[in-house]
Structure formats: C-alpha cells, structure tokens
Amino acid sequence: MSESTENLLIIDDEQMIIQLLKDYFIELGYGVEVAYSAEEALEKINNGVVFDLVISDINLPGKSGIDLLKIVF
C-alpha cells in the first residue's frame, strides 16, 4: 500500500462481501487490506499498518466485530 493512499481494512467472514467492497474501494483509489476474522485483523493492525478506516461485520467467527473495535479503539 502506498503511503499517500488512504488505507482501509475490511473484515468479514464472507468472501463475496469482501470482494465486492475491496473492488469498489480499490476502484476509488484506496489501499485495501482484508481479514476474514477479528483475530486476523488484529494481526494486521499489530504489524504496524496504519488504517484510516476499518469496516467490520459484527458477526464474525471468534471475537465479534464489536469486540474487535473495542480492542482497537
């Protein structure tokens, strides 16, 4: 991801939802990372990538999207 690009993290356990959102935001010029669980998202966040926006499903396997956002923010 480019440093001048705004970076998004999309978290959902459904491949089709992730692909639709990813394609849409890439077309708009955003850098996009994806995760299929809250735990995978936390790994990406803890690896030092700065995200300008996090879009998360609420119902995820393991930790919920709400749990994830409480940890992150």
pLDDT the model gives residue 21 = 98
pLDDT the model gives residue 2 = 44
Instruction: For the chain, give the mean pLDDT.
Output: 91
Per-residue pLDDT of 30-52, as tens digits, reads 999 999 999 999 999 999 888 99
1 pLDDT tier (thresholds 50, 70, 90): very low
Identify the burial level of 73 via C-beta atoms within 10 angstroms of its C-beta, where 0-12 means exposed, 13-18 middle and 19 or more buried.
exposed
* Two tokens, residue 56: 């998360």
69 pLDDT tier (thresholds 50, 70, 90): confident
Sheet containing 31-35: give its strands across.
Answer: 31-35, 7-11, 53-56
Written as one string, the DSSP assignment of 9-52 is EEE-S-HHHHHHHHHHHHHTT-EEEEESSHHHHHHHHHTT---S
pLDDT the model gives residue 4 = 59
